[in-house]
């Protein structure tokens, strides 16, 4: 654990020495910003979901109306990660991702392997259902019948029926898996392995790994997303660690993989002090929404042009609200860490919080 804390402290010091150029958000870019309709649900280790209306891109500032409280705070870097005992677990808390299901409901994956269903219309939250160990992503599967949870502790992908709320299957993949996405024909799934810094290609019929994609610039990866046309898998590689949880020596970036060749075809370097943790595309595939940590007092939400890689939006998601209420973060060295993003496209107003 001491090694992890030293590395995270180094990240914070490194971040403090940088300045994010205002060219990413200045008025000159206003004409290139798309008009979007949807509500972004961004999960965090603080145990709540931040809400951002993509029509106006205003930072959350209202503790009551700009977030959905699910559980107490927690941390992904405690307890067991990839089979390694990082530190003593506090026994729960924190969440990492959520998935939308029919009926205006969210299925939330938590850092203790539990699952919660939340009704956006009524605010009713189900009991916690124990499914796995330490969940990272929660993704609706290609057939719309099952949700897939990736587990950072045991390296399995958990297949869960959202109608019966029961586990269907448990698929061994790697050490500590995060992202999962499928090709258009549903023949292959791409799964990122966080501490290994790799992406595994799985034959979805046999559930066997047929290719392990590596790259020198991927040392510690997180969540990602398949492009809408299924031609590319984008995975976040903030590279907070080198292999073996050693101090980082690689730049924060997004890595693009061709699903035709199963090779890395591009790297998108992130602005200073931005460590992407997940991403999702607009339905037309032209824009990318990227929640990113700073490992300081904030986590951010960026909007990137998928073709030019220009960042045209970059807003506060945590500090904007915390400062308004004088909230002090006491976990994770004071860092409010955002994780996964889900967007309800077409939703015009934030759901009522209770």
* Residue 92's CATH number: 2.130.10.10
Provide the whole-model pTM.
Answer: 0.88
As for how many domains the chain has, the answer is 1
Give 167: exposed, middle or buried? Use CB within 10 Å, 0-12, 13-18, 19+.
Answer: middle
State the residue range of the domain holding 92: 2-50+64-345
Contact 113, 153 (CB under 8 A): yes
Query: Average pLDDT of each block of 10 consecutive residues along the chain (354 residues)?
Result: 42 38 40 90 93 97 93 65 53 85 96 95 95 96 96 97 96 96 97 96 97 97 97 97 91 98 98 97 98 94 98 95 78 80 97 85
Q: Is residue 173 part of a domain?
A: yes
Contact 317, 52 (CB under 8 A): yes
Q: Is residue 85 part of a domain?
A: yes
pLDDT at 10: 44
pLDDT at 11: 44
What CA–CA distance (Å, rounded) separates 336 from 321?
Answer: 11
Q: Is residue 122 part of a domain?
A: yes
pLDDT at 191: 98
Q: Is residue 351 part of a domain?
A: no
Q: Is residue 150 part of a domain?
A: yes
pLDDT digits (tens, 9 = 90+) for 214-264: 999 999 999 999 999 999 999 999 999 998 889 999 999 999 999 999 999
Q: Is residue 102 part of a domain?
A: yes
What CA–CA distance (Å, rounded) separates 169 from 209?
Answer: 16
Both tokens of 269, joined, read 């370097």
């Amino acid at each position: 654990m001491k090694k992890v804390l030293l590395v995270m402290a180094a990240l914070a010091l490194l971040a403090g020495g940088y300045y994010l150029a205002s060219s990413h958000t200045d008025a000159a870019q206003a004409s290139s910003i798309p008009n979007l309709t949807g509500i972004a649900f961004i999960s965090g280790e603080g145990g709540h979901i931040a809400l951002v209306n993509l029509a106006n891109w205003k930072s959350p500032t209202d503790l009551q109306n700009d977030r959905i409280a699910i559980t107490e705070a927690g941390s992904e870097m405690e307890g067991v990660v990839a089979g390694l005992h990082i530190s003593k677990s506090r026994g729960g808390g924190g969440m990492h991702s959520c998935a939308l299901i029919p009926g205006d409901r969210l299925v939330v994956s938590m850092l203790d392997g539990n699952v919660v269903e939340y009704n956006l219309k009524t605010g009713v939250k189900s009991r916690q259902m124990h499914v796995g160990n330490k969940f990272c992503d929660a993704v609706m599967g290609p057939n719309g019948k099952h949700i897939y949870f990736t587990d950072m502790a045991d390296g399995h992908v958990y297949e869960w029926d959202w109608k019966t709320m029961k586990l269907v299957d448990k698929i061994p993949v790697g050490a500590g898996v995060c992202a999962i996405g499928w090709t258009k024909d549903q023949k292959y799934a791409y799964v990122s392995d966080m501490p290994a810094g790799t992406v595994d290609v799985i034959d979805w019929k046999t559930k066997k790994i047929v290719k392990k994609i590596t790259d020198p610039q991927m040392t510690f990866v997180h969540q990602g997303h398949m492009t809408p046309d299924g031609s590319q898998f984008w995975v976040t590689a903030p590279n907070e660690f080198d292999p073996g949880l050693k101090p980082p020596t690689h730049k924060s970036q997004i890595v693009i993989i061709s699903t035709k060749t199963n090779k890395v075809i591009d790297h998108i370097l992130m602005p200073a002090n931005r460590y992407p943790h997940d991403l999702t595309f607009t339905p037309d595939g032209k824009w990318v929404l990227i929640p990113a940590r700073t490992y300081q007092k904030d986590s951010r939400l960026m909007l990137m042009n998928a073709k030019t890689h220009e960042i045209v939006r970059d807003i506060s998601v945590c500090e904007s609200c915390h400062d308004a209420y004088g909230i002090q973060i006491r976990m994770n060295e004071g860092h409010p860490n955002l994780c996964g993003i889900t967007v309800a496209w077409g939703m015009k107003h934030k759901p009522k919080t209770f």
